[in-house]
Structure 1
Amino acid sequence: MKFHPLHDRVLVRRVESDEKTKGGLIIPDSAKEKPQEGVVVSVGKGARDEDGKRVAPDVKAGDRILFGKWSGTEVKIDGEDLLIMKESDILGVLEV
């Protein structure tokens, strides 16, 4: 199944965090927080401004991003857990 977000929405795949601390302790699944980092899977065409002109999104598929702890709506597409969020919920793009 293919999914393409509408307007200024973004489809994001969470990036799993490390299972060990820097000291070598293993963190159980029940104690882990959901990661606030992800990779953009798909992006809508952008929102419209007051004049009806489309405003292009600042992110693109493949960008590694940071987002707020409670951002987005969790969805399951083809058995994979993903997030759909507005572009404004994205805090920034990570550059390597």
Structure 2
Amino acid sequence: MSTTLRSIKSLAPLLDRVLVQRIKAEAKTASGIFLPESSVKELSEAKVLAVGPGGLNKDGQRIAPSVAPGDKVLIPQYGGSPVKVGDQEYHLFRDHE
């Protein structure tokens, strides 16, 4: 399921959701060698763009999310909800993922 939005700023995660953007893999090594596109894979590293206020526990108290906007996180290869804004793709994950 993919949703198209006009601006990423119009998207605010709810509850324990986290909005991330995958970090692009470098096509050039530290020593200056350019890698072919076939050898550059998607990284499982992403940057947190927005975080919801947190989920609720059994007593109705809010549980603060474990990440904050600007953090770099490792994300699973599969899962999450893709969100497409223009030509950029973002993903929504639950905080525990």
The percent identity for this pair of structures is: 32
Please state whether the residue corresponding to 1:71 is helix, strand or coil.
Answer: coil
CA distance in 1, matches of 2:35, 2:87: 27
Give the count of matched residue pairs.
88
Q: Taking structure 1 as the reference length, what is the TM-score of the superposition?
A: 0.78
Gaps of 5+ in 1: 90-96
CA distance in 1, matches of 2:70, 2:21: 10
- In the other structure, the counterpart of 1:27 is 36
Q: Which has the higher contact order (CA 8 A, sep 6+)?
A: 2
Q: Paired residue for 1:80, among 51, 68, 88?
A: 88
- C-alpha distance after superposition, 1:42-83 (max 9, x if no partner): 000001000111101010100011111113121112542101
Deviation at 1:20, TM superposition (A): 4.2
Q: Taking structure 2 as the reference length, what is the TM-score of the superposition?
A: 0.77
Aligned-pair Cα RMSD in Å: 1.9
Q: Paired residue for 1:68, among 71, 76, 79?
A: 76
Gaps of 5+ in 2: 1-6
CA distance in 2, matches of 1:14, 1:42: 13
